[in-house]
Structure 1
């Protein structure tokens, strides 16, 4: 094999996600709504743009050159129009126009007016990264010592709305076990705070979390900043089967009267942070609060109404299943539950084996199925209550079951219309009040061509049409979307295949399986901006063929497809499906060397990586397992109790298979990983030592689950490991620069 050079590593470095995004400006348009959504602004590269769908216009948000000159003069700092040092951007609405922009720069708050051509300092209290401004801009809510506080935007007032917080029984926080405390600390931030303002800016909805009585866990920081003795970090961390779990209840806080209204029924068990965001105000002023409540085993999902004046609750919809009942197709997506002004409830359910919409009458007793068929609704975009229609994204209508299309249907189930029929995956959003859609269709080869669509799918504005020329100049080629057959011999499964840079069909290339097995999501999106892209492209730049496969047991298709991993979470993502698919690709493409197959993944992907080498030792030869949850008996409660059910937890343990190791395995973990603890890896290490097996390990001091400050180091060590043991050559001495933060929207 030809030895890789510094130049090869440098090209691979440019494929990593933060760099990749900057090589395709305009590929990520994130609308920021103005005037209730009648207009919006977004950033593309270094430019700021405002779109007005009603007028059909797209224009620069302001004169970038004039603003840069004025800010340079006012601040005393040199400012370039192509690199405006903006943060916390706002567009104040004055008489229905966006004539001004406010922003933070050089430690001050500024306002620029295109009309006057002036840039002046503004004396106002700016929300911090974990603070929430009220919709009218009058108040800022924040958390202090576990209590909820507010201060006026003009800085004239500041006071507490609660005063009874106690250690491990406080307001607005996330469970220790999934709050990313160590990651927040690496940026100098406190743990996350969550609260929701009422539409009229008079009240706050906040949860109170009770973690008292939960089992405590300790992480040791070996090399604290400034030196000195190692430091212990203690937090509450329940595991599957523990009787004590975190609980939460809702509280409504009135800013003017400082009245506290508490939920009157029993607190709910919470094993995942989604529970704290599955709540919203209803009505123009906030006449009611609605929230979702899931049982500890996730087999019951309820929609409840909370009276913000009394704290009384009522259950409106309750659905129970033999396995997990979800409000979305994938964990982390917005719940597809909408309470209409009529009192009717639009509800998403997999009760017929697919994910469809149901309309409950105001008494919540007579549901009518709105959508049906062997496909699923993926996201509700816009409900027009006057014309009784709903716009949504659906998948399964295409030959590829993961491709999403824009659709519309009447709330009575009639008039189903597909508004898009191309082969692109449509990722769309709509403003809170609806009226139009911002559509971002793409394929793995074609970046999103963003446009504004009307309700009939007609194009109102063309926004961005990015290209990949800069990526291609670096050697990038798009992945191939493929279909293969699962290990059962009949189920079609899908994935992506990246060819090596400088591809020569006469050569034979080692293969790397880039895995995340779910079960809460699927891995191989048919879109350009798939969440885990970047890593596979970098490995392809180093001369590897790379595959990503969605095996059975992952989300995004039928309930039956997903349920294959229920009761057998160790099967999530179906490793035997991966083996079968890669072998099938090897027959299809002789240039794939399926005698040299490696695998890598992070978190659940780390678990699957070690599992692959232990369960399929004759197939997988090299693995790099990062932050793996190798023993789910001591992992976060949710994974076993929600996705494994009553199955034997011994089946979720990689250490039980340690004696099977024959390939080369590198285990990487951060010592301050407060999600999947480093003890997960060390338990596997203990079992490997007991089995007298050879392996490699890297424990990264100070690193948390995402390796935010040390990511470049583990990436380079991963590359080196595959180059040395799969490519068969010694890696170059190249060193990666610290990874930049993700690109700003655009």
Structure 2
């Protein structure tokens, strides 16, 4: 069919007008929450397996409620607790059930300490009587009910206490707790950060014993940070921080007998300079599992401790030529056989062991990774897990029998699927997202994955985003240094291959990480859309050392952090420079934390391809970072000086040719601002001009008030001016 010329011209004009009406995103919108995603807050299953609870906030009333919903219908069945009905407190920030769900711990006045730790005022809510009881006038840590709810254990000023909930009598379990010296029942800084846990005590299933860790950090060197605040004089935060090669806390395991009110140290074996990254009670009331890891982190013993006589024996040993990863996947079955995950065949898979540590069988296998272990349903005799079997950028939920047979894919859509199972494994709530879809929450039957209903979606966000000139995030791959690397690209709107575009590369690149995944936009992606609207191509590539492509791919960077990962980013940038639509003279790179270490190295070692770099909170020498993380991948500086120094940006400051912006938070307890100060000095002495900024008192996340907006405005202006 032919159209008259005037009609075609009208169509062209109308299309141009519609295109012109598309909005461009602003930094103010991004950091004010305009693109906030709807989520299910604090969702957890009730013991009956038929209902789940969600913490809902009522901004207008200023109240918080714990509401109960039916899995089957999705309708709210009742409100368990509403803060507006409590006279003693106005609100609460988090909650935790007792095992029988008859009592609830409510946390208020939460005071963050480090990444995972906090102090808080805790109240106990009795569901039947609706009575609220304050645990202590002091801010305490890691409050935990005994299995029969008769007692509450917690930590205050590095000592463990037990509160009898009937008599309200308080017993002090440990006496030697002292700030920056002795810690009982909670972890030190490096355990919290790198082994990802704070609570270091556990009731046994009958409530007769409490196993706990004690940290003697008196020999650990202190690190201090000046915090400027708003007072006339700054304050100083001093804490124990073991840098690579320095002394760690001496950790020991202790068993407390509740009735006898006495503790005994458990002799685990002939170990020197070791870690205890996990303790967990087994299915037997008096059998504790303990994981002991050597300092090199390449030899892990699983030890069983008999709490009746406190004797310890090794039941499983895991070794690796590089390092053994610590997980939370250890699960005990009714017969006290146990589920374990391991990379010993080159990929992370599930194994089943007898109580004595003998292998029953390898449950999963193949050139793909188990990424989450969800649990075991003893009735259906099925194990539930998440994996990359459908591609390393994707995640799917599966079930399988313990004998490794009858594997069933329970999710249907390609993208990232993650599950939250009901207590009895009848249902699971699936969270699905891909590059085109913000999170969608749906209810499924665990038996076959059949969808029951949709719970929550982000259609309003999608509708909102239609008004903007957003470009798709394109997933692809690129062959670099003999490896097929995952890659995503965001191109400018109305991309024209006959034009040349500047490129900004983003990466993180830390061991086992992933930045290229089949997921929807996050805050940074909206920032990339802003840059794309201004004519920039944004590219992200996961190089060697990143995760979910097998142990060899991940561990190739062992003892050489900053070598192969940087080589891959440089080689990828050179490939991009060969594209007809890429302006080879305008390729930049940026990253945060490990990514800042990478972007700094990239502009120094790759000064012939990168013309600009931004580094936020970067490590500039692994000698400045903590023992657990750094030595896992590098061993100690005493053993591997060349690995530390040859790949340190400090050793290559004289190579800077392009434009470089260096940013750090002055109150960063994780990657210390020392890293940036040393980099500044090396650049100054090399007579290299650069830009830099320090955000006073801000931690590793550099946020609070208008901080993020200011930070991203600074980076945007730098990119627009320099790239």
Q: In 1, distance between residues paired with 2:669 and 2:457?
A: 41
1:666 counterpart = 2:666: no
User: Which of 23, 26, 41 is the aligned partner of 1:11?
Assistant: 26
Tell me which residue corresponds to 1:597.
587
Give the distance between the partners of 1:62 and 1:412, measured in 2 at CA.
41
Q: What pairs up with 1:681-692 in 2 under 5 angstroms?
A: 681-692=676-687
Partner of 2:187: 174
Q: Does structure 2 retain, via aligned residues, the 8 Å contact 1:248–1:268?
A: no
Does 1 or 2 have the higher relative contact order (CA < 8 Å, sep 6+)?
1
Secondary structure of 1:325's partner? coil
Which residue is 1:143 aligned to? 155
1:258 and 2:261 equivalent? Answer: yes
* Residues 172, 207 of structure 1: 8 Å contact kept: yes
Correspondence 1:452 to 2:456: no
Deviation at 1:425, TM superposition (A): 1.4
Partner of 2:75: 59
Residue 237 of structure 1 pairs with residue 255 of structure 2: no
Q: 1:358 aligns with which of 351, 374, 393?
A: 351
| Cα distance in 2 for residues equivalent to 1:651 and 1:619 | 20
CA contact (8 A) 2:349 2:369 kept: yes
SS at match of 1:220: strand
Change (3 A) 1:428 1:443: same
SS of match in other structure, 2:261:
coil
User: 2:430 maps to which residue?
Assistant: 439
Q: Aligned match of 2:475 in 456, 470, 482?
A: 482
SS in 1 for 2:611: strand
Aligned mates of 1:234, 1:76 — CA distance in 2: 35
CA drift at 1:460: 3.7
Match of 2:549 among 554, 557, 560: 557
Q: Deviations over 1:302-356 (max 9, x none)?
A: 22212233332221110112111224xxxxxx43222322232322121221111
List aligned pairs for 1:703-714, cutoff 5 A: 703-709=698-704, 712-713=706-707
Output aligned runs, 1:642-681, within 5 Å: 642-645=632-635, 647=640, 648=642, 649-681=644-676
Partner of 2:232: 227
What secondary structure, in the 3-state scheme, does the structure 2 residue paired with 1:613 have? Answer: helix
User: Secondary structure of the equivalent of 1:260?
Assistant: strand
Q: Determine the structure 2 residue equivalent to 1:510.
A: 502
Using the TM superposition, give the Cα deviation of residue 156 of structure 1 relative to its aligned residue in structure 2, in angstroms. 2.5
Q: Deviations over 1:502-554 (max 9, x none)?
A: 87878654332222111132222322377976654565566643332211111
Which SS does the other structure have where 2:562 is aligned?
helix
Distance 2:675 2:301 in 1: 34
After superposition, the C-alpha distances for 1:706-740 in whole angstroms (9 at most, x for unaligned) are: 22436x436524433442454569xxxxxxxxxxx
Post-superposition CA distance 1:577-630 (Å, at most 9, x none): 33444555566683x545322222221112112111111112222222111110
In 2, Cα distance between equivalents of 1:571 and 1:376: 25
CA RMSD of aligned residues (A): 4.0
> Given the two structures, how large is their TM-score scaled by the length of structure 2?
0.82
CA contact (8 A) 1:670 1:702 kept: yes
Residues 125 and 153 of structure 1 are in contact (CA less than 8 Å); yes or no, is this contact kept in structure 2? no
Cα drift, residue 409 of structure 1: 1.9
Match of 2:513 in 1: 521
Distance 1:213 1:90, change over 3 A: closer
Aligned to 1:616: 606
The residue number in structure 2 matching 1:302 is: 301
Please, which runs of 5 or more residues in structure 2 have no aligned partner?
1-21, 59-64, 110-120
Query: Is the 2:409–2:449 Cα contact (8 Å) retained in structure 1?
Result: no
- 1:638 corresponds to 2:628: yes
Structure 1 residue 234: Cα displacement: 2.8
Instruction: Determine helix, strand or coil for the equivalent of 1:575.
Output: helix
Alignment of 1:357-396 (within 5 A): 357-395=350-388
- What residue number does 1:472 align with? 465
Alpha-carbon contact 1:664-1:725 (below 8 Å) kept = no
| Alpha-carbon distance change, 435 to 659 in structure 1, aligned in 2, over 3 angstroms | same
1:162 is aligned to 174
Q: How many residues align?
A: 673
Distance in 1, Cα, partners of 2:169 & 2:471: 55
C-alpha separation in 2, matches of 1:61 and 1:657: 63
Is the CA contact (8 Å cut-off) linking 1:486 and 1:580 kept in structure 2?
A: no
Distance 1:291-1:539 versus aligned 2 partners, 3 A rule: farther
Note the C-alpha offset of 1:393: 0.9
SS in 2 for 1:213: coil
Change (3 A) 1:382 1:21: farther
* Change over 3 Å in CA distance of 1:91–1:724 after alignment to 2: closer
Contact 2:290 2:303 in 1 (8 A): yes
Deviation at 1:179, TM superposition (A): 5.0
Partner of 2:11 in structure 1? none
Aligned match of 1:325: 324
- CA–CA distance in structure 1, aligned partners of residues 494 and 272 of structure 2: 54
Structure 2 Cα separation of the partners of residues 598 and 531 of structure 1: 20
In structure 2, relative to structure 1, the CA distance for the partners of 1:93 and 1:565 (3 Å cut) is closer
- CA offset at residue 424 of structure 1? 2.1
Quick one: structure 1 residues 478 and 248, their matched pair in 2 at CA, closer, same or farther if it must change by over 3 Å? farther
Q: 1:176 to 1:460 in 2, by over 3 A?
A: same
CA contact (8 A) 2:209 2:258 kept: yes
CA distance in 2, matches of 1:261, 1:341: 28
Taking structure 1 as the reference length, the TM-score comes to: 0.79
Shift of 1:266: 5.1
Larger strand percent = 2
Whether contact under 8 Å (1:141, 1:148) holds in the other structure is yes
Match of 1:695 among 690, 705, 711: 690
When residues 452 and 324 of structure 1 are mapped into structure 2, their CA distance, relative to the original with a 3 A threshold, is same
Q: 1:427 and 2:430 equivalent?
A: no
Distance in 2 between the 1:250 and 1:42 partners? 36
Q: Which moved more, 1:498-507 or 1:255-264?
A: 498-507
Q: Distance in 2 between matches of 1:720 and 1:304?
A: 52
Q: Is the 8 A contact 1:249 1:266 kept in 2?
A: no
